[in-house]
């Protein structure tokens, strides 16, 4: 019985210490991003204070989204309005969290005269998910 307690205590200690181990010094592999990927300041300038029309690439659904400079977000899609928050990370990814939803962070890429949102994949095969069709000043969602 004592050997079992000692074994369990040892395993617990290993798990706790191992779980708290620092990841400092571990190398992160940089995934190459597509040409035209925007930096944080460019993404902020492009979206802040604008109502943006976007098309989901998988089904052609169109949405209007207002990106308030204070970090609030208003969206109109399928005749329904919903809110959320948005911000831009230092690495240039735009992050959205809709009411009751999870946070997603994606890159914005300028391709010719168009802007597109991509999911960054670790294998480098990034997935295009949204095409932005217009950027207009002010909140046109709540009019």
Residues 100-122: tens digit of each pLDDT: 999 999 999 999 999 999 999 99
Predicted TM-score (pTM) of this structure: 0.79
By the 8 A CB rule, do 117 and 108 touch? yes
Per-residue confidence (pLDDT) for residue 2, from 0 to 100: 61
Domain count within the chain: 1
142 within a domain of the structure (yes/no):
no
Half-sphere exposure of 139 (CA within 13 A, CB side): 12
119 within a domain of the structure (yes/no):
yes
CATH of the domain at 99: 2.40.128.640
30 within a domain of the structure (yes/no):
no
80 within a domain of the structure (yes/no):
yes
61 within a domain of the structure (yes/no):
yes
Residue with tokens 């480098």: 124
23 within a domain of the structure (yes/no):
no
71 within a domain of the structure (yes/no):
yes
18 within a domain of the structure (yes/no):
no
Contacts 24+ apart (CB under 8 A), 52-58: 52/132, 52/134, 52/135, 52/136, 53/132, 53/133, 53/134, 53/136, 54/117, 54/130, 54/131, 54/132, 54/133, 55/130, 55/131, 55/133, 56/129, 56/130, 57/128, 57/129, 57/130, 57/131, 58/129
Expressed as residue numbers, the domain containing 113 is 40-137
**What does the pLDDT look like over 34-50, one tens digit per residue?**
999 999 999 999 999 99
> Would you place residue 67 in the very low, low, confident or very high pLDDT band (cuts 50, 70, 90)?
very high
């Amino acid at each position: 019985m004592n050997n079992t307690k000692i074994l369990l205590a040892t395993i617990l200690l290993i798990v706790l210490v191992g779980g708290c181990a620092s990841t400092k010094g571990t190398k992160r592999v940089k995934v190459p991003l597509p040409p035209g990927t925007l930096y944080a300041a460019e993404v902020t300038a492009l979206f802040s204070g604008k109502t943006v029309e976007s098309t989901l690439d998988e089904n052609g659904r169109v949405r209007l989204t207002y990106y308030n400079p204070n970090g609030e977000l208003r969206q109109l899609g399928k005749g329904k309005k919903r809110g959320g928050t948005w911000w831009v990370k230092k690495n240039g990814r735009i992050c959205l969290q809709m009411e009751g939803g999870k946070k997603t962070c994606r890159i914005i890429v300028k391709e010719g005269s168009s802007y597109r949102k991509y999911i960054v994949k670790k294998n480098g095969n990034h997935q295009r998910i949204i095409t932005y069709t217009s950027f207009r000043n002010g909140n046109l969602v709540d009019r």
